[in-house]
Amino acid sequence: METPEIADTNPSIVQLEEGKTYFWCACGRSKKQPFCDGSHRGTSFQPISFTAEKTKKYFLCQCKHSSNKPFCDGNHKHLL
């Protein structure tokens, strides 16, 4: 099983719109972190789609090791 690349060791704080669907990068290769740009092609990774429940700021995982993907759960504190 492939290991995702760590895009950053801090979450990305992004404003998302209620009802809108987003595609979170699971591989860590995207140049549009934390969102997918298709860089996973040729790997075993697939982006995770999710719909924002409310319009507000969200903390999205960039270390790719969260147990609550796509949301940050603090696991980046235990890396490196």
CA distance 28 to 12: 13
pLDDT in tens, 13-63: 999 999 999 999 999 999 999 999 999 999 999 999 999 999 999 999 999
For residue 44, give both structure tokens: 């075993």
* Torsion of the alpha carbons at 57, 23, 47 and 61, rounded to the nearest 10: -10
pTM of the model: 0.93
SS3 sequence of 61-80: CCCCCCCCCCECCCHHHHCC
Going by C-alpha positions, the residue among 78, 59, 58, 64 that lies closest to residue 29 is: 64
